[in-house]
Chain A
Amino acid sequence: MRILRRLRHWWRFGARSAELDEELAFHREALEQDLIARGSTPEEARATARRAMGNETQMREASRAVWLWPWVEGVWQDAKSTIRSLRRSPAFSAGVILTFALGVGVNAAMFSFLDRQMFRAPALLRDPASVNRVYLYRQRDGVESEVSGWYSRHSDLVRWTTSFSDVAAFVSRMMAVGVGQDARERPVAIVSASFFDFFNAPPTAGRYFTADEDAPPVGAPVAVLSYAMWQAQYGGRPDVIGTTLQIGAVVYTIIGVTPRGFVGLWALRPPAAYVPIATYAASEGPADWATTYTWAFGMETMVRRKPGVNSVAASADLTHALELSFRAQGSVRSDTRTADQRIAALRPRGLAGPLLLERGPERSSEAKVATWLGGVTLIVLLIACANVASLLLARGLNRRREIALRIALGVSKLRLISQLLTESLLLAVSGAVLGLVLAGWLSSLLSASFLPGAKRASVADLRTLAFTAAVTLIVGVATSLFPVLQARRLSLTEDIASGGRSGTARRSRARAALLVVQGALSLLLLVGAGLFVRSLRNVRDVRLGYDADSVLVVELAMRDVRLDSAQTVALRRRLLDVAREMPGVSHATLQFAEPFGGMTSWPILVAGIDSTRKFGIFELNAVSPDYFATMGTRVLRGRGIERGDVAGATHVMVVGAAMARVLWPGEDPLGKCVRMLVDPVPCVYVVGVAEDIHSRSLGPETRNFYYYLAAEQMRPQEGGLFVRSAGNAQQLIEPLRRRLQAEMPGASYVTLTRMAASIEGVTRPWVMGANVFTAFGVLALVLAAVGLYSVIAYNVAQRRHELAVRMALGAAAGSVVRLVASEGMRLALYGVALGGAIAVQLGRFVEPLLFKQSPYDPVVFGIVIGVLLLVALVASAIPATRGARVDPNTLLRADAG
């Protein structure tokens, strides 16, 4: 009821106001007449009545406040007057809005990116809080490593755990989908039938596959299309159910379509189709793939905990199941040691961890850097806020007189504060809108840099918008805080009387503090930039042991084409010959393993050493005579693989320098004999020593060793080519691919990539770190410089009387400049000191992200401090010089008048 009456009153707002005014006028008149009746003169009566009535404006507002939502009216009025006043100072408004846009935009983009990677539960997942990804570990020589994804291990977990209501296996692969011209490499999800039970996602058409269709050893050739694929490739036709689609080597029958928005666990690379794990494994793996522990294909396990089971209990359950699984594996493999000892030494450990990989223990270094960048963007936001607050303060100081007058006229302080708040919020909202546009652009840049090939991320999702709205509200309120506090301290008499022309300088401590903070944050970002730039240089300076830039990697996808071993060898030989004859190719070699693309190791035996395993992993490649020329790997001693190293001749190998050092310390490795456990030839003789290569990390690889066998002797059934381009490698890709493809039988095909691309994947965190820190650091520096400049300029304006008096009394222009500029420099020095202290504190956290780089590098700190102080000097010297140019005569005269 009251609400309704209130609404009605509000509706009749204008009439109400007039009535109230008339009523008050009557009141005053009546009072006057009474006073006259008691013997006052009319003048006295009028004065007394006026005094008695007190502050009429205030009363009127108080009366209105009863029947209005005062803030509704107030906000509307404030918004109108704010827009008016902002239009009067377009430079100020544009500056503030742009600053907000930068701060908010960068954060919205970063949030959208991090949210997708680390926070958002997969779409349509039922009760995400109870779902975990399974991480399994074991130790070898005191080093813990992840246990490979074997199907048999997964089955053991299903069998021996009791904590879970659902367990599913999954992996996503790039596979050739379709045939002929339509064939494309697309992400395909290989999942157990139970996978779909985790989601609240009934199929749009048809059905999902059943446990029977996903049963080892062969499964059924049935596939579920993704909604996007169904729309894009089949135009959403319902008769797609029952048609066939070749994926990899298998021709699948389509039995269903997922609902719209369903992407499984792969929001960044949504699968085109979902196929049963058994069907995939049967087509790609050995016959006994489901029962032995030999064929791993990167499969992972996800679980849903039963109600009441927490993740600690679930992890313990997994650890126990892993122990039993190792025991079961032991009975499959023969071993001399007792099972208990062996299992104790393995230290099995299971973990029911976060479903999102990038949040778990196995997150990528990109994710780690991205987390840091999230922090960096927050710093940018802080700087932007500080700058806006600083600008608003300056504006507030200029408006002191106006504000003081309004208070004197009876405007309540609450109204005044609400107006300042409205102004900030309005600016923040405008900035945020612009920021979102910026964010859309930034976020595709982020995705492209961190996750090449990933689906374009849009920032126009509810979570990002909600985040942006929250940030906008917070920065709007936060930036208005300073002007509001300032308004509360106004002194009426002084501000009105002096007309804002006070003779003494009025320094704002709040602005000074903001500047110091800005300076400190800029220093932090610039130091970060310096450290990452130097890390990146160190990364690029690493001698990989080969020239990745000019080498192309050729890989063969055989699909369902099954060749016997002689045919395989012949095909590979033919491809090598074709590649060699191709114009633009300087060298080519067969290869079996690619650095940073997964190497292979076989156990080796060396006379006098009981176990070579204790040294680490010995990885091999099987190569042609041109290998070392193709790769640019230097042969340090002896010879490389040569044309004479064929099947009938003595088997030879070239070893890496580190391998020679560790196996035969102090001896000549040439002529030594190495026996291969898997390939029981009597002896493979060392004929050369090559320089070491990096194949796993850019850091020191102390436990990885490399050797090279002759492809003609080893005759591997897998692998492709390395091709060295004489010119631009990128331009060679397409013609070479077409030429090689002509040799491929059936549906098989070749893919070509630049070797540098896999190296770029490894160096990406540092490239990103260097780029983002530098960009943000420079941005922060510019913002801080503008802030400093405006503060000094403002102070000069405030002190112009004082400066004029000084100059009138004979002070030299230079000393005036020094006087003013020294203030800016003092603030800059405080900022540098504060920022330096924080940077040193943060050093140990950032150290693991750097590459051969101390976080306390004096060169970086020195340069950054130097740049900061120089910028500060320029930013304060310009307004100071301008202040000193004032003619005291003119100024003091103008003031006297």
Chain B
Amino acid sequence: MGRDLVKLQPDLLPGTLDLLVLRTLARGPLHGYGIAQRVRELSQDVLHVGESSLYPALQRLLLDGYVTAEWGASENNRRARYYTLTAAGRKQLTAERREFERIVDAIHLVLANA
């Protein structure tokens, strides 16, 4: 693992971590470890979700009612906690995604034209 990892902090861009978690869960229920793995794989090992930010984020999402949690069996038959996106979470994902893209576009504009 010689590549540099970007540790995702909640304040990297406001809401980025929540957005990634919600987006990852849009494909289907996952446990915490699965979410972290998925983000790492999809970002080709660039984004690394630290546990110390992942679990507080999940608690936050639970509290806000964007996800629900349920105990189930993992791939190797261990008890694991699976998170599922709710309807409210889906709506939130769309909203956050739009907002994120708006900001990224804005940043692009600045970078290209300044």
- Residues of chain A having any CB pair with chain B under 8 Å: 1-2, 5-6, 9, 19-20, 22-24, 26-27, 29-31, 33-34, 52-55, 58-59, 62-67
Contacts and interface: CB of A to CB of B under 8 A. Distances in A.
A54 B50 contact: yes
Interface residues of B, number: 23
Top-5 shortest CB links A-B:
A66-B59, A30-B33, A59-B52, A63-B55, A62-B56
Contact of A29 (B55, B58, B60, B78): B78
Contacts of A66: 56, 59-60, 63
Contact of B59 (A27, A29, A63): A63
Nearest to A60: B55
A785 B104 CA distance: 67
Nearest to A23: B81
A414 to B, nearest CB: 15
Given A2-B64, A26-B79, A65 B52 contact: no
A739 B21 CA distance: 102
Given A19-B81, A26-B74, A33-B76, A9 B51 contact: no
B32 to A, nearest CB: 6
Contact of B51 (A2, A6, A19, A59): A59
A29 B78 CA distance: 10
A34 B33 CA distance: 11
A54 B76 CA distance: 25
Residue of A33, A34, A53, A66 most packed against chain B (CB within 10 A): A66
Given A26-B74, A27-B33, A34-B37, 12 more contacts: A1-B65, A5-B63, A9-B63, A19-B81, A20-B55, A22-B81, A24-B55, A26-B33, A33-B76, A54-B51, A59-B55, A63-B55
Given A54-B50, A59-B55, A62-B52, A26 B31 contact: yes
B59 A31 contact: no
Interface of B: 31-33, 36-37, 50-52, 55-56, 58-60, 62-65, 74, 76, 78-81
A24 B31 CA distance: 11
B63 A2 contact: yes
Nearest to A22: B79
Contacts of A63: 55-56, 58-59
Max chain B C-beta neighbours (<10 A), residue from A23, A52, A58: A23
Contacts of B56: 59, 62-63, 65-66
B74 A58 contact: no
Contact of B63 (A6, A23, A59): A6
Contacts of A64: 59
Given A26-B79, A30-B33, A30-B74, A67 B63 contact: yes
A24 B51 CA distance: 9
Contacts of A20: 55
A22 B81 CA distance: 9
A583 B67 CA distance: 102
A569 to B, nearest CB: 96
Contacts of A34: 37
Contacts of A26: 31-33, 74, 78-81
Chain B's interface: helix, strand, loop or mixed, by majority?
helix
Given A33-B76, A65-B56, A27 B51 contact: yes
Contacts of B52: 54-55, 58-59, 62
17 contacts: A1-B65, A23-B32, A23-B55, A24-B55, A26-B31, A26-B33, A26-B78, A26-B81, A30-B33, A30-B80, A58-B52, A59-B51, A59-B56, A62-B52, A63-B58, A63-B59, A64-B59
Contacts of B65: 1, 5
A64 B52 CA distance: 12
A34 B79 CA distance: 17
B18 to A, nearest CB: 12
A63 B76 CA distance: 26
A329 to B, nearest CB: 81
A20 B32 CA distance: 11
Contacts of B81: 19, 22-23, 26
Q: Among A1, A6, A27, A34, find the residue whose CB has the most chain B CB atoms closer than 10 A.
A: A27
Nearest to B69: A19
A23 B31 CA distance: 9
A115 B80 CA distance: 65
A40 to B, nearest CB: 11
Contacts of A29: 78
Contacts of B55: 20, 23-24, 59, 62-63
Contacts of B36: 27
A22 B50 CA distance: 17
Contacts of B59: 63-64, 66-67
A19 B60 CA distance: 15
Interface centre among B31, B32, B58, B59 (most CB of A within 10 A): B59
A26 B80 CA distance: 7
A418 to B, nearest CB: 19
A575 B64 CA distance: 94
B78 to A, nearest CB: 6
A39 to B, nearest CB: 12
Contacts of B76: 33
A781 to B, nearest CB: 54
Nearest to A59: B52
A59 to B, nearest CB: 4
A66 B60 CA distance: 6
A62 B53 CA distance: 8
B113 to A, nearest CB: 40
A486 B72 CA distance: 48
Contacts of A5: 63, 65
Contacts of B79: 22, 26
A27 to B, nearest CB: 5
Contacts of A1: 65
A31 B65 CA distance: 28
A67 B33 CA distance: 21
A2 to B, nearest CB: 6
Contacts of B63: 2, 5-6, 9, 66-67
Nearest to A62: B56
A760 B31 CA distance: 86
Contacts of B58: 63
Given A19-B81, A62-B56, A65-B56, A31 B33 contact: yes
Nearest to B48: A52
A2 B36 CA distance: 26
A20 to B, nearest CB: 7
A355 B102 CA distance: 66
A66 B59 CA distance: 6
A390 to B, nearest CB: 39
A33 B59 CA distance: 25
Contacts of B78: 26, 29-30
B31 A53 contact: no
A58 B37 CA distance: 22
Contacts of B31: 23, 26
A29 to B, nearest CB: 7
Nearest to A68: B59
B37 to A, nearest CB: 8
B74 A53 contact: no
A52 B63 CA distance: 26
Nearest to B31: A26
Contacts of A23: 31-32, 55, 80-81
B35 to A, nearest CB: 10
A511 B78 CA distance: 57
Given A26-B81, A29-B78, A53 B51 contact: yes
B82 to A, nearest CB: 11
A27 B32 contact: yes
A725 to B, nearest CB: 85
A27 B60 CA distance: 19
A195 to B, nearest CB: 62
Contacts of B37: 34
A11 B106 CA distance: 44
Nearest to A30: B33
A275 to B, nearest CB: 70
